[in-house]
Amino acid sequence: MTHPGKQRTVLLAVREGHVDPRLLTSALELCRRLEADLEIQVISSGPALPAELDGFVASLRGAGLQYSLDVKPSLRRRDLVNYANAHENIAAVVIDSREGWEALALDRSSDPWKHLACPLVTAAASPEKKQA
């Protein structure tokens, strides 16, 4: 819950190579429904945005949606959970999938997503659509 007068924010975590239009659309629609700003954290091997995000960022500007963008070389599930839990204005976290975040997290009993204080939205495309 946010304090009165504090804008809600949807945190979108995008991994290079896992940018799906459905992920971006889900985050945008959630922002509209919640009347929230969008914070985008992009995990990329270089300083440039993945090409799939160029059109999305342009559409955010065109829609007048408040957003912030941060490109990082790495980001673990635990980092996202800790960040979201430390910022009470974050209303939801949107990711492509719970799977494949970091190779070191093979211990199934250690699931940081269980400790997330806000809703987690996964928006991966279904397997049938990926093959088409």
From CA 131, how far away is CA 38, in angstroms rounded?
Answer: 30
Query: Is residue 31 situated within a structural domain?
Result: yes
Give the CATH number for residue 61: 3.40.50.620
Number of Cβ within 10 Å of residue 3's Cβ equals: 7
Query: Is residue 52 situated within a structural domain?
Result: yes
DSSP letters of 52-71?
HHHHHHHHHHHHT--EEEEE
Query: Is residue 1 situated within a structural domain?
Result: no
Buried b (16+ CB within 10 A) or exposed e, 101-120: beeeeeeeeeebeeebebee
Mean model confidence pLDDT for the chain: 83
Mean pLDDT of 10-34: 91
- 130 pLDDT tier (thresholds 50, 70, 90): very low
β-strands 90-95, 120-122 pairing: parallel
Query: Is residue 3 situated within a structural domain?
Result: no
From CA 28, how far away is CA 42, in angstroms rounded?
Answer: 15
CA angle 114, 112, 93 (to 5 degrees): 75
- Of all residues in the chain, the percent with pLDDT exceeding 90 is 42
Range of the domain at 52: 9-99+109-131
Q: What is the pLDDT of residue 106?
A: 52
pLDDT in tens, 48-74: 888 888 888 888 888 888 899 999 888
Q: What is the pLDDT of residue 83?
A: 95
Q: What is the pLDDT of residue 108?
A: 57
- Of all residues in the chain, the percent with pLDDT exceeding 70 is 83
Query: Is residue 4 situated within a structural domain?
Result: no
Verdict on whether the full-model pTM lies above 0.75: yes
Q: Which stretches of 35-126 are DSSP H helices?
A: 51-63, 77-86
pLDDT in tens, 78-111: 999 999 999 999 999 999 988 877 654 455 567 8
Q: What DSSP character marks residue 113?
A: G
Q: What is the pLDDT of residue 26?
A: 92
Query: Is residue 48 situated within a structural domain?
Result: yes
- Give backbone dihedrals phi and psi of 33, rounded to 5 degrees, phi first: -65, -40
Domain count, the chain: 1
